[in-house]
Amino acid sequence: MKTVIRKLVFYAGQVIRFIYYSFLRFNGVEIGKNTFISLGAKIDTQFGKVVIGDNVHITSGCVLLAHDGALKQMDPSANPRGKIVVENNVFIGVNSVVLMNVTIGENSVIGAGSIVNKDIPKNSLAIGNPAKVIRSLE
């Protein structure tokens, strides 16, 4: 009986994830192949552009924010819409925040709780607030 319930829960989760990914794609988020986005992650679908590559893992509590409402309040002529690009084979740790106009290079890891406010080069491990590259992964 436990096996049947586990399978039902697993398949229900797959259906929910399919609906979530479809919602994101419908709202303009580009999602690559074999990419995992936790249901607890929040991805900006209202303003700006988000592009997520292949084999990306975005964990629970992550926020990808492609706009800045405060910028518009301070300078009405400023463009508060930006773009986030997460290239292939990237892992973004729990509760990390990726801000607008950032590119995370391929084969990179973002440590848990990091605030990414500038580009991260490929093959890098970045952690902290603000996120800093601490070593190369080559």
Question: Measured between alpha carbons, how far apart are the two ends of the chain, in Å?
Answer: 47
Query: Residue 70: what pLDDT?
Result: 77
Distances (CA, A) of 41 to 1, 5, 29, 57, 130: 32, 26, 14, 11, 19
pLDDT band of 136, cuts 50, 70, 90: very high
> What's the structural domain count of the chain?
1
Query: Residue 73: what pLDDT?
Result: 76
Active site residue 67: yes
- For 2-52, what is each residue's pLDDT tens digit? 889 999 999 998 899 899 999 999 999 999 999 999 989 999 888 889 999
Domain, as residue range, for 117? 2-136
Q: Please give the average per-residue pLDDT across 115-125, as a whole number.
A: 96
**CATH code of the domain containing 51:** 2.160.10.10
26: three-class secondary structure by DSSP: helix
Q: Please give the average per-residue pLDDT across 73-101, as a whole number.
A: 90
Contact between 94 and 112 (Cβ < 8 Å): yes
Q: How far is CA 48 from the centre of its chain?
A: 14
**Entry pTM:** 0.88
List 48, 66, 67, 93, catalytic entry: 67
